[in-house]
Amino acid sequence: MEDRVFNFSAGPSQMPIEVLKKAQDEFLCYPGAGCSVMEMSHRSSAFDEIIDGAEACLRELMDIPSSYAVLFMQGGATTQFSMVPMNLGHFGDTFAYMQTGQFATKAKQEGDRWGNAVFTASSKDANYTYIPEAGDMPEGARFLHITGNNTIYGTSFNKLPEHGNVPLVADWSSAILGREINVKDYDLIYAGAQKNMGPAGLAVVIMKRSLLDFEVDSSVPIMLRYRVAAENRSMYNTPPTFSIYMAKLMFEWVRDRGGVKAMEEKNREKARALYEYIDGSDMYTNPVREKDRSIMNVTFTLPTEEKTAEFLKLCKERGIINIKGHRSVGGCRASIYNGMPMEGVMHLIDTMKEYEEKEK
Ligand code: PMP
């Protein structure tokens, strides 16, 4: 325990100690099951309780109406880049995307494989430091896809894009359960688990049940069909049982601490403290347009590469890891998801101050 540091990774990210301890307590023998979750049949009543409990808790947390299905999928958020166009459109159809970063670009590339994917807007010209207006929807677009929170650049949709009557799809991987999201504003939401929902590999999909009626092309593989997942309670094949169990523990942890609203308040406090310090400092700069700032990923740069390297070295000495910015943008990034306590953020700010003072 004493070796644990403050981990500011963008994902897989630091998890709450209470969740890790609970998993540890139940690791060898899940109560009443006589074996660990990993050894348990996914067709057992014990696992039924786990998967149903996970879904029920997520529904409560996000106030998900019964007209929406909740699916536990494999293959991370990236598999959703492919599943969305294959399940919401036929081969050759038109799909709209907003280009707000690398993951949005990757999502569009998968749309391109299946049809005619179009960027309606882009902030690439400014290295994705702002969220653009949505732009015009192309004729017949099956959906508009947005990346709700841009993990690499530290930007976020803080208001909905204008999408007319085109269905709205959002990748909320890096902010789900960290801020309130009104499910009814969307036709489909997906998110990889490894920031606020547990281990990597699992993805959660929340979608209007009416979309499940769409007749997908016969070439769509069985594992890539939402309807098959929905009809089989996300267990057409053997699901990632341990990851679903961990997600349940994460959901319960959020619920027991006042739900998503309470998480958002805490996350806003953490982000405010960091941004305030950065904005007032001569050493650190945040390049993001203020109204588009993320409360989950805070990026900042130092004046030179040399200073960045020195600062990162100091962080390591002070027990702060994974603060280096994404390889495509450089600089630094602090990911401050639900599992990062205020204490960790204050420790980071103290370390930033220490370096700034030393350089004066
Ligand atoms: N979308 C966003 C916003 C992400 O941050 C990430 C991963 N960091 C992905 C998609 C890709 O997720 P995965 O690695 O689970 O496929």
What are the tens digits of pLDDT across the range 303-320? 999 999 999 999 999 999
Overall pTM > 0.95: yes
Residue 70: closest CA among 203, 196, 170, 253: 203
Residue 338: closest CA among 202, 204, 195: 195
Residue nearest to atom 14 of ligand 1 (CA): 76
List, in order, residues 6 or more apart from 137 with CB less than 8 Å away: 96, 120, 144, 163, 164, 166
CA of 227 to the centre of ligand 1 (A): 23
> What are the strands, taking DSSP E only, across the chain?
6-7, 68-74, 94-99, 116-122, 144-147, 149-150, 155-156, 168-171, 188-192, 202-208, 297-300, 320-321, 332-335
Cα–Cα distance measured from residue 135 to residue 163, given in angstroms and rounded to the nearest whole number: 9
CA of 172 to the centre of ligand 1 (A): 9
Residues of the chain with pLDDT under 70: none
Q: Is the CB of 335 under 6 A from ligand 1?
A: no
Facing residues of 299 across strands?
333
CA of 30 to the centre of ligand 1 (A): 30
Q: Is the CB of 308 under 6 A from ligand 1?
A: no
Structure confidence at residue 2 (pLDDT) = 77
Residue where the block lists tokens 């995307």: 97
Please choose from 108, 151, 205 the residue to mutate so as to test ligand 1's pocket, defined by most ligand atoms within 8 A of CB.
151
CA of 29 to the centre of ligand 1 (A): 32
CA of 153 to the centre of ligand 1 (A): 13
49 — alpha (psi -120 to 50), left (phi > 0) or beta? alpha
Q: What is the C-alpha end-to-end distance of the chain, expressed in Å?
A: 36
